Structure 1
Amino acid sequence: METTGTSLRVLTGLASETGRRARNEDFAAAVLEPPGRMTGVACAIADGMGGAKGGRVAAELCVRAVLDGYLGSSETRSVRRTAAHAVDSVNRWIHAQGRTDADLAGMGCTLTVAILRGRRLHVLHVGDTRLYRLRDGRLARLTVDHRLEGTTNILTRAVGIAESLRIDYASEDLAPHDRLLLVSDGVHGALNDRRLEETLALREGPDETARRLVQAALEAGSDDNVTALVVDVLELPAADVAGLSQEVEALPMREPPQAGESIDGFELQALIADGRYSRVFRARDSHGDASVLVKFPKPQALGAEASARAAFLRESWVASRVQNPFVGGVLDLPAGRRTSLYLVQPFYAGETLERRLSRSPPVSLDQGLDIAVKLTKAIASLHRAGVIHRDIKPENVILEPGGGLKLIDLGVARLPNLEAALPPDIPGTPSYMAPELFAGVAGDERSDIFALGVTLYAMFSGGRYPYGEIEPFTTPRHRRPAPLSAWRPDLPAWVETVLARAVAVDPAERFQDGFELAFELENGAIRGAPARRTRPSLYDRDPLRFWQVTALILLVLLVISLASR
């Protein structure tokens, strides 16, 4: 079946066989967004459990409820929130039915959902059905089985077995010619990853590929139901920013002005920042007598006029999509007023977090947690809109006099849903960049979490970095982070634990989104940490001193040994 959604074109193929079982308790489906909407293509597979008719009922009900719930929701809501809500609802219903209806006792199912929206793949998963992706001839598994270690059929998580459900979520970039495979354990239990890769790489039609996989699993001795759903990505949608793009292209570039000049009724009063990518002024808007910030791009520094226009477009697009009290906005000017390319933003009174760290006293626990939670929620709102900030640091955080906060400077933000290709270089400030960015990875929610963790570490430690300061144009070696307690022994242990996870070298060990981190910050004191703080070892506090002391001890022992002879 070929489906098309806002220029997202895919081909799907499905095959399912009962095999040696008495009935087929697998269920899979793929559906297209309703006409005129932008919810994408949704696919799901479920494997029923519980025996009798309960397993099949649970599998079919789960798939239908999740797909219908997602496609029937508001397209302005995030994919994760919408789909997870649908899974949670059907989980509660299946759990209740399994406890009250004797015919459906013990009903439940595994579930894997793949949602293709824009230029992103969203995955929700629980149980031991699987999702694979074939790209450039290489197979990657995108889900992790929830099985009791050392067993092949005892699930630790599944839909319906408990009143509440913890479901895995992941988001990945899509690329043209990606091939996705959703399979039940009847298939992947009989065919190893090498066999799956070889079959998918034949590039037969999705229907033929699905049938070939199912038949191969049966021939390999599978004693379970066997189901395979294949999705071929033929074409990805173009970035839906036509209106903004036309406006940007129509505006001429100009050399950045100087303080004292007047541009389109904006009197440039003072130079606020003169960075690599832009020049920013505090200005008075003569049309409304309000204070604003005016940002002019520097095409020479960016290397090309196209890059400057792309940065302008990104920041304007984000401002039009993200409405959050902790994210800086962009003012919409009347048509015809702007005669050259620049951005106008509200002027936020206050000081940057960077400036606050340069003076005493140090940020207290209560003040720091208040800042941390607000900043984390700002980042979470960007991620929910599909925006990766990529330059989170104290310099881009404004602390307002009344306790407010604004995260600013989205000129280098990454918009995965709008990218036609990965950028040639990865922007950011080295000391705040996640380790994977130095290897050329474009950056995602987890790299933003790393930068946020470094920012919060710097806030509490008075401007220090967990891995030390990193000079530009160097490739750092991230080892063990310096313990926060070395600088702030007055802070509770749980704060250090949370920040250590945020700045973990391995992206998989970090918080996966801002909401998860915000929850930990808001509830850390309640959830608790060890009542006693373990004093960091000398090695953690001062590695050089540790080895000096060790060398001295060895020298003394050597002298004693020689003297005894």
Structure 2
Amino acid sequence: MPRTYKELLEIREHDGDLFYRVFLYSDCAPYRNPNEDYIAFGLGGKTQRVNRGNILVLADGMSGGKAGRVAAELVARQLIQGYQELPGTYSIEHALSQSLAASNRSLHWFSRHDQTLEGMAAVFCAVVIRGWECYVCFAGDVRCYLWRRQKLQLVTTDHALKVLSGTIITRAVGFDDSIQAEFFQIDIEENDVILVVSDGCHNYLSMQELRETLLSTDSIAKVGELVNDLARFHGSRDDASIGIIEIVSLPKKSLTFFEDVVMSLPIGRLPAVGAVIDGYCLLEIIHDGYYSVLFRAKDERNGNAERVLKFPKARAQNDENVRRSFAKEDWVSSIVDSPWLARSAHDGRSRSQVYTVSPYYQGYTLAERIKKETVRFSDAIDIIRKISRALYELHRLNIVHRDIKPENIMLLHDGGVILLDYGFARVPGALDPAPTEVPGTLAYMAPELVNGGLGDSRSDVYALGVTFYQIFSGNTAPFGFQGYKSIRKQHPEYPAWVDSVLKKMLEHDPANRYSDTLELLYDIDKHERSFSSGEKALIYGNRISEILILRILVVILVFTILVMQMKAG
């Protein structure tokens, strides 16, 4: 590394948009050669960036002379190379720990077996950025700062003791046969600036001076040079280095990103109940399907919170569409924000194989409710309203569910309703190979899907219509040999508008259906408002009315018999 080294990098996303800028700056002390600081940035290949992200390392050699330089460079290079080359199934923390342990063993061995490198050690700080995640790992007194909305925060703590003669470092790579570093994740936002600074700079600058420097210019390259100049002005005669990452735009949680993740993971053997996968202990099987199995699990890393893990079966090994369905489900559940849509519970930890993580919802499916009991008219309308709103939220994101059915509707114990399973969802614009079979469940599938079409919001309206009908009819199909079967033949007390709404939802031609569930909701609300109180009482209290009428008839009959007996007497 030359006496003064500086480099400005621009890191871009797959679509070419600027993700963040990186500025590396290192200035050798006036009296020292070589520079005992070493700063480097590891930019991996496409798969590495998905699994590992990119890594910045600043290391500061401690033993003086040649050994200090060798220590700093070994730590930086080995940490970056080892981190990037470990399997993608390792978590970021585990990969950093493994790589750091290997680097520590190297330095510790050389310091004991090579007299020219005796006592070699290095302090360091590493920053990893993967997508919208940021991780910091450090040992010693290389500091990391976060600059956000004109506020400066020191996010690391020096592993050092202040004494009369100066500072004693308590942790460093190569000190002992093992290394104890700190590791944590920090939230990042667009326009954040992350600074990694060696003691040749931060020992000579106050927080206020560093803040004023950041306020003085928008250029991270200029910030790096000014920080060095200011440290020299205040008397720094040590090597001075600074690495700066400026977050320009965080990548959106795109389907492409999730597909890259899923495609890079193996479809492992289906685990058994009792197995622990990446910290999730599998408690029981709650659904065993053709392509996948759902387990209820507890998250041992998160207070034993209950989760649902969905694993593909071995038959999906060579089916690219199954992998893509897992990626779609993961992606959709990560971007939706609605009380009626299932959300992802994945916390960002690395996965050892393909699976999805969802919350464990306390309740039962609509299919179970229909099978168990007759659903009251008012409850049915309430369920339809909530699922219609859930579908509208999906359609607003230009996502078509394509597998609406009672099994995918969860009724919560607290009265809530959740729409589940986005595996068959259609995301217009996304690349999907031709499926080997029609997506969805045949009994609920709109005619255009059966005929090979891709489907749109009106296809979901059709499936919701079948579901709507089954709620009222107790799980019977809406069509017979003569076509649509009127629901009023089974429930003559229902208003005529129920049949008109169902018929429109179940039209063979999509052009004649409701264009979206928002239009359906408007129609239901309109009919409900025009619904007379007498009609409501007839439906909502029909059984009570029947009992009341029977009692009145009995009273009339008894009264008639008594009158006839009195006349006969």
What is the TM-score when the length of structure 2 is the normalising length? 0.48
Tell which structure's C-alpha radius of gyration is larger. Answer: 2
